């Protein structure tokens, strides 16, 4: 099983959106038996909370299940459990390095570095623009799935 972990600051907006969206892409490609997906936060503010209402609304709008999404904190041992650890912005990536103790490890990637955008995904908790976040997360998730398929011969 190839395991993917999406990470953002609070695990209530971007990373659960990416988790749900990526699960849908994996299911569509009939790879659920090969790829596992989860999400986590670099902070502990929202542990045990469901996603933000804006994230739930955008997932519902695109007919994507939010079942099972619940805020949790990134742990050091997640480094060993996941094959791909995906940060939503540069700050998340730096925090992933700090928490896992694995700075600049190639399995830790900023999501949009896999796309033509090569930038941070804005946090809709602050911007309020869940549509823009969805569009960028979708582009990143498609690129990530392509990368995994290529690297893992799927």
**pLDDT tens digits along 123-146:** 999 999 999 999 999 999 999 999
Domain ranges for the chain: 2-152
What pLDDT score was predicted for residue 111?
A: 98
For the record, the structure tokens of 113 come out as: 């570095």
Please name the fold of domain 2-152.
Answer: Rossmann fold (3.40.50)
Which 3 state secondary structure label does DSSP give 56?
helix
First-to-last CA distance in the chain? 12
Catalytic, out of 14, 23, 72, 110: 14
Predicted TM-score (pTM) of the model is 0.97
Q: How far apart are CA 138 and CA 122, in angstroms?
A: 13
Is 8 a residue of the active site?
yes
67: left (phi over 0), alpha (psi -120 to 50) or beta: beta
Q: Is 83 a catalytic residue?
A: no
pLDDT reported for residue 105 = 96
Q: What is the pLDDT of residues 76-100, one digit of tens each?
A: 999 999 999 999 999 999 999 999 9
* Per-residue confidence (pLDDT) for residue 128, from 0 to 100: 95
Checking DSSP bridges between strand 108-110 and strand 35-41, what pairing results, if any? Answer: unpaired
Per-residue pLDDT at 126: 94
What strand order describes the sheet that includes 2-8?
35-41, 2-8, 84-87, 108-110
């Amino acid at each position: 099983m190839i395991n993917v972990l999406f990470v953002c600051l609070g695990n209530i907006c971007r990373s659960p959106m990416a988790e749900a969206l990526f699960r849908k892409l994996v299911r569509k490609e009939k790879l659920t038996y090969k790829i596992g997906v989860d999400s986590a936060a670099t902070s502990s503010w929202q542990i045990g909370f469901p996603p933000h209402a804006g994230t739930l609304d955008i997932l519902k709008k695109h007919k994507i299940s939010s079942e099972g999404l619940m805020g949790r904190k990134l742990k050091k041992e997640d480094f060993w459990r996941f094959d791909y650890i995906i940060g939503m912005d540069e700050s998340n990536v730096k925090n992933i390095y700090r928490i896992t103790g694995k700075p600049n490890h190639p399995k830790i990637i900023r999501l949009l570095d896999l796309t033509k955008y090569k930038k941070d995904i804005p946090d809709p908790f602050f911007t309020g623009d869940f549509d823009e976040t969805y569009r960028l997360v979708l582009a990143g998730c498609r690129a990530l799935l392509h990368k995994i398929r290529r690297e893992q011969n799927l």
